[in-house]
Amino acid sequence: MKRLILALSLNLALFSLPLAQVRAQSPLTLQEILNEVHRSHPDLLACKQEIRQFESQIAEAGLLENPRIEAMGEDFLGSASVSDQDYMQFTFSASQNIPLSGRLNAQQAVFKLAQEVQKNQCMLRQRQLDQEVSKHYLEVLLWQENLSQLKEMQVLAEKLLGQTEKLIARGRLNILERTLPSAEAERLGLEIAQSELQLKLSRQTLFSYGTATSETRVGELASLIPLVPPTEKPEQIQARHPLYLVQQLRLDQAKLEVELQKSRSFPDLNLGSALRWHPQSQDLGINLVLAAPLQLFNQNQHGIALAQSQLEQSRLELERLRQNQLRELHQLMARLKQAHQRASAYQKSLLPLTRDHLEKLRVGLDAGKFNVMHVLQAQQQLLKLEQEALNARQEVARLELEFKLWLSS
């Protein structure tokens, strides 16, 4: 527990430093690379701008229509005014449409949900970038570990070659026994050169997503493999998935659309007032107008039916998505458990036994009980098992990354 608290405090201290200073002090973790991508990637910046554009639409949806101002002259310059009759009069009016049944609030609610849908779409895009960056980060760690193992095996091969040459000098082996360990050392040298090239290319690809350079240090493969397996239920994880949240918001948006269409069945109330002036008598008067259209031919039944159909479609799509995601998540967790068991078997039993066997053969070689071929075969078997163990760790790390992307929604 003390070690865990110390590690957490160190991580918090590192995050409080500038990123360039953190890189200089410790390897760059996957989360630090992802944080930098989240801050600076053009796709995510454009996505945030699209979210901001909804602010004006939300504000506009809650505004009343502009009032209407009219000026009317009755019998203006007509025959009655020419014949000195006092029919002519002027009317100045102002009117305002007032929507009923909370239509403005309903319109705002629809745009607010559309904004939430856009936010989750941006989150999905971010998850796609996270998957790409995580895949390249994992590839770098794998090439690093592969290169480290090859160098360790090269040391063993050169040590075996040195032992062989000493035994040849003592006359206990003939000169032909030098061929195999020499060829093995050469082969490992070629593989190291290829691994170094692949590691360089992988690092360049990884850091092309951010501002870091290919010389920046990264962590180790073990950092992606947690000591404690996840304890959450698949249903809890799936409920936080952005794609599920987007579909849930679309269902809520469809419900609000139904309410909005129902509110449009209510007529707008038109309230107006007018000032009337009769020039001849200098009489002033005020007119009041209260009007509403008759909903005889169109009561918006088709709009309501369409909205209800879209609501039912959204419900079905959400249920289909829920079933598919739960099935996929159950399979992922099962594969993750199997991968952990396989990697543990290599680390706890197979590799220790093979290393112990190789050491005994090396001791027997000095004593003249075994020849170089026996040691070389055991060394090649160890290299093969270490490669298989690396593949097992790779599978665990890949599945852990995939699982973390579910958890980090």
Domain with 229 in it: what CATH number? 1.20.1600.10
Residue-level pLDDT at 201 = 92
- Where do we find the tokens 């699982």? 403
In this prediction, what percent of the chain has a pLDDT beyond 70? 85
156 assigned to some structural domain:
yes
Domain-located, residue 177: yes
Q: What pLDDT does 271 receive? A: 76
| Structure confidence by residue, pLDDT tens digits, 262-277 | 777 777 777 777 777 7
Average pLDDT of the residues in 310-325? 88
β-sheet bridge partners, residue 271: 96, 290
Q: How many domains does the chain have?
A: 1
Rounded distance between C-alpha atoms, residue 7 and residue 11, angstroms: 6
What is the maximum alpha-carbon separation in the chain? 145
- pLDDT given for residue 80 in this prediction: 55
Q: Predicted confidence band at 19 (pLDDT cuts at 50, 70, 90)?
A: very low
**Which residue do the tokens 């009007």 mark?**
291
Question: What are the beta bridge partners of residue 290?
Answer: 271
* Residue 198, pLDDT score: 93
Model pLDDT, residue 173: 75
pLDDT band, residue 196 (cuts 50/70/90): very high
Task: Please tell me the total number of residues recorded for the chain in this structure.
Answer: 409
In the predicted structure, residue 25 carries a pLDDT above the cut 80: no
In this predicted structure, what is the pLDDT of residue 135? 86
Q: In this structure, is residue 256 part of a structural domain?
A: yes
Return the amino acid letter for 110: V
Nearest in space to 75 (alpha carbons), one of 83, 87, 64:
87
Residue 312: inside a domain, yes or no?
no
| Domain assignment of residue 4, yes or no | no
Across 164-177, average pLDDT: 80
- What pLDDT score does 4 carry? 33
The mean pLDDT value of the chain amounts to: 78
338 inside domain: yes
User: Which pLDDT score, from 0 to 100, does residue 78 have?
Assistant: 58
In a domain, 75, yes or no: no
| Whether the predicted pLDDT of 35 surpasses 60 | yes
Q: Which domain holds residue 371?
A: 27-62+106-265+326-407
Q: Comparing C-alpha atoms, which of 191, 317, 189 is closest to residue 253?
A: 317
Confidence (pTM): 0.64
Lowest mean pLDDT among 15-24, 79-88, 215-224: 15-24
- The 10s digit of each residue's pLDDT in 41-92 is 888 888 888 888 888 888 888 888 888 888 777 766 655 555 555 667 777 7
Asked if residue 228 has pLDDT above 60, the reply is: no
The percentage of residues in the chain with a pLDDT greater than 90, rounded to a whole number, is 4
Q: Which residue has the tokens 């209407």?
A: 68
* Any domain includes 302: no
